[in-house]
Amino acid sequence: MSEKRFRGDFIGGDFVAPAGGAAFASRDPATAEGEVVLEAVGDVAAVDAAVAAAREAQRAWRRAGLEARIEALRAVQARVPAHTERIAQAITAEMGKPIAEARGEAASIAGKIEGVIAQLPYELPPAPPGAPGEQRFHPLGVVAVIGPFNFPVHLLNTHVVPTLLTGNTVVAKPSELTPLAGQRYAELFADADFPAGVFNLVHGLGDTGAALVAHPDVRGVVFTGSYDTGRRIRQATFDQPFKKVCLELGGKNPAVVLDDADIDQAVREILLGALLTTGQRCTATSRVVATPGVADALETRLVEAFRRITPGDPKDVTCFMGPLASHGARDRFVQQLAAARAQGAEALVEVRALAGGAYVTPSLYRVQGGEATLAEELFGPHVSFERAADRDDAFRRAADSPFGLSASLFSADAESWEAFYDQVPAGVVNINRSTNGASGLLPFGGVGMSGNWRPAGSLAPRNATYPVAYMRADLGARTPYAALDGLLGENA
C-alpha cells in the first residue's frame, strides 16, 4: 500500500497536526492479532477550528452559485480515478471489506457527484404549477457529516456531495475504525485544490463526534450509524431546535418468501442480502420468514448454502466475504448468538470463529420469533429463520420489529406485493430482490428505530437545505383589501 502516515485533521484546506488529544489506532481485522494500520489522534479542540473554517468559507461558497460549486466538485470527480486504489486499499486494510467491493465503493465517489448534479433540478424544483411565487432551498450553513465504519468513504461522500452542492460547508468525521480511509477521502479534496474551508475533516472517537454535533455554529447534522448513537445525538441537540438532525440508523431487515416464490431466486438474493460486507450493512437481510408450502425446501437450501460459504482473505480479488470489522465485533457477535441460543433459538448452521483474524462463518438459526437477542441488530453474517402459518402471519412477523429500514418479498403475486407494502413498514421495500443494494436515484432511509424520516439518497439535497417561499409584487402594486380601502379612501 502507499504511504501510511497520519496527517492530522483537514482544516481550512490543509492537513493540520493535532495539538493534543487521544491516540487511537485502526487495526487490520484480517490479521490474527489486529495489526496496526494507522495510529491517529482525535483532538476534540480541533472541532472548534474546523467549524470556524467552515463558517468562514460558507458565505462565499453559497454566493459563488451552483455553477461554480459544480465546477469545484467536478475537479474532485476528475481526481477520483487516481485515488481509487489508495482509498480501496485503506478500506480493506481497516475494516476487512473484500477488495473488489472496496474498489467499487471508492469508484462510486465519482458517480455520486455526477448523479447529484443531474438530480438537483428535479429534487429542488422551483415551485408547483399555479403557485404565486417560487420555492427556494436555502443552505443550512455549516453541516456535520458523521460516518460509520461499514461504508467508511461512501457514507461520508453520499452526504458530503449534496450538502456541498446546495451551498453548505462541511465538517466530516469518519469512524474511529477507519481513519486512513477518512484521510484518503480528504486527500482527494486536497489534490483537487478544493476551496479552502469548504470541506473539512476531523478525526476522533465518540467525544469528537459529540463535540461536533453540539457545536452551536453547526446548523445541520447528517449522522449514519447505530441507533444508540443516533439516540444520544437527538438528546444532545434537544435544546437546539434550529439544528436539522438527520439520522440514518440500523436495521433488522426481513425477507418474506411466499409459496409462489421462485426459490432459486430467493436463495441467491437472501445470500447476497445476508452475507455481503459480512452482514455489516444497515440493509442486510437478518430475518427470513417463509410460508408453509416453501419453508422446508427453503430451509434445506439455505442450510446447504450457508455451510458452503466460508470467509476468506479480503485482499484476494475473488473474496466474497471477509472478516468482521474488528476482533471486538467478532467477540460481541459470537456472544450475542450464544445468548440467542440460550433463549431457545436452534442452530441449523452454527457460527464458528476461525483463526487468523476476525473471521466468523455464516450462521442460520431456526426461531419462533420474539427471541430478545435476535430482535437486535447483530451486524454480522447471520439469518434467523421463521416459519409462518400463512401469508398474513408472515407479514405480521415481518412487521414485528422496532426497526424499519428495508424489507423484501419473494412472490409472483402483485396483490401480495401491495399487501406487503401496506403491512410491513420500511423505507425500502423490494420485490424479488435482496434487502440491500439501494439506489442513489431513489429516496433512502428508514422508519421506526431506523431513522427519523429524513431520507437520504435522492432526497438528500432537501436534508441540507431549508425551504423558502419567495414571493414578490410589482413595484407600486396595491394588495386589494376592501375594508382597508373603506377606511383610507381611494388614494390609499
- Catalytic site positions: 248, 282
Residue 346 φ/ψ, nearest 5 degrees:
-110, 125
Q: Nearest approach, Cβ of 330 to ligand NAD (angstroms)?
A: 14
Q: Applying CB under 6 A, which of residues 89, 92, 108, 150 lies at the interface with ligand NAD?
A: 150
Distance CA 207, CA 294 (A): 49
Cell of 127: 415551485
Residue 440 found at the interface with ligand NAD (CB under 6 A)? no
Stretch that binds ligand NAD, among 99-107, 123-131, 170-178, 359-367 (CB under 6 A): 170-178
H/E segment holding residue 15: strand 14-16
Residue 248 found at the interface with ligand NAD (CB under 6 A)? yes
DSSP code string of 66-97: HHHHHHHHHHHHHHHHHHHHHHHHHHHHHH--
Q: Applying CB under 6 A, which of residues 162, 182, 225, 440 lies at the interface with ligand NAD?
A: 225
Radius of gyration of the chain (CA): 25
Residues 453 to 482 in contact with ligand NAD, rule: CB under 6 A: none
The dihedral sign for the CA sequence 299, 300, 305, 306 = positive
Q: Applying CB under 6 A, which of residues 115, 179, 209, 448 lies at the interface with ligand NAD?
A: 209
Q: Which three-class secondary structure state does DSSP give residue 359?
A: strand
Determine the residue with CB nearest ligand NAD: 209
Q: Applying CB under 6 A, which of residues 249, 257, 288, 364 lies at the interface with ligand NAD?
A: 249
Residues 2 to 21 in contact with ligand NAD, rule: CB under 6 A: none
Residue 377 found at the interface with ligand NAD (CB under 6 A)? yes
Residues 284 to 303 in contact with ligand NAD, rule: CB under 6 A: none
Burial class of residue 118, CB neighbours in 10 A (0-12, 13-18, 19+) = exposed
Pick 213 or 261: Cβ nearer ligand NAD: 213
Q: Are 410 and 257 in contact (CB under 8 A)?
A: yes
Q: Applying CB under 6 A, which of residues 147, 179, 182, 197 lies at the interface with ligand NAD?
A: 147
The count of residues in the chain is: 492
Pick 289 or 405: Cβ nearer ligand NAD: 405
Q: Which of 5, 74, 14, 90 is nearest to 41 (CA)?
A: 5
Cβ-based neighbours of 46, under 8 Å, separated by 6 or more: 9, 11, 16, 18, 19, 21, 202, 204, 208
Q: Applying CB under 6 A, which of residues 44, 46, 213, 275 lies at the interface with ligand NAD?
A: 213
Longest dimension (CA), the chain: 92
Cell 406485493, located at residue: 417
Residues facing residue 254 across a β-bridge: 287
Q: Applying CB under 6 A, which of residues 95, 146, 165, 289 lies at the interface with ligand NAD?
A: 146
Cα 260 to chain centroid distance, Å, stands at 33
The dihedral sign for the CA sequence 214, 219, 222, 227 = positive
Distance CA 177, CA 130 (A): 51
Q: Nearest approach, Cβ of 54 to ligand NAD (angstroms)?
A: 17
Burial class of residue 99, CB neighbours in 10 A (0-12, 13-18, 19+) = buried
Residue 226 found at the interface with ligand NAD (CB under 6 A)? yes
Q: Applying CB under 6 A, which of residues 8, 13, 141, 148 lies at the interface with ligand NAD?
A: 148
Q: Nearest approach, Cβ of 76 to ligand NAD (angstroms)?
A: 22
Pick 204 or 362: Cβ nearer ligand NAD: 204
Q: Applying CB under 6 A, which of residues 199, 379, 395, 420 lies at the interface with ligand NAD?
A: 379
Q: Applying CB under 6 A, which of residues 95, 282, 358, 409 lies at the interface with ligand NAD?
A: 282
The dihedral sign for the CA sequence 33, 38, 41, 44 = negative
Q: Nearest approach, Cβ of 313 to ligand NAD (angstroms)?
A: 23
Residue 224 found at the interface with ligand NAD (CB under 6 A)? yes
Pick 62 or 232: Cβ nearer ligand NAD: 232
Burial class of residue 461, CB neighbours in 10 A (0-12, 13-18, 19+) = buried
Cell 428505530, located at residue: 449
Q: Nearest approach, Cβ of 206 to ligand NAD (angstroms)?
A: 3
Pick 57 or 222: Cβ nearer ligand NAD: 222
Cβ-based neighbours of 325, under 8 Å, separated by 6 or more: 29, 95, 96, 149, 150, 177, 278, 280, 358
Residues 179 to 198 in contact with ligand NAD, rule: CB under 6 A: none
Pick 86 or 215: Cβ nearer ligand NAD: 215
Residues 103 to 132 in contact with ligand NAD, rule: CB under 6 A: none
Residues 395 to 434 in contact with ligand NAD, rule: CB under 6 A: 405
Binding-residue total with ligand NAD (CB under 6 A): 31
Catalog residues that contact ligand NAD under the rule CB under 6 A: 146-151, 155, 173, 175-176, 205-206, 209-210, 213, 224-226, 229, 232-233, 248-251, 282, 377, 379, 405, 446, 451
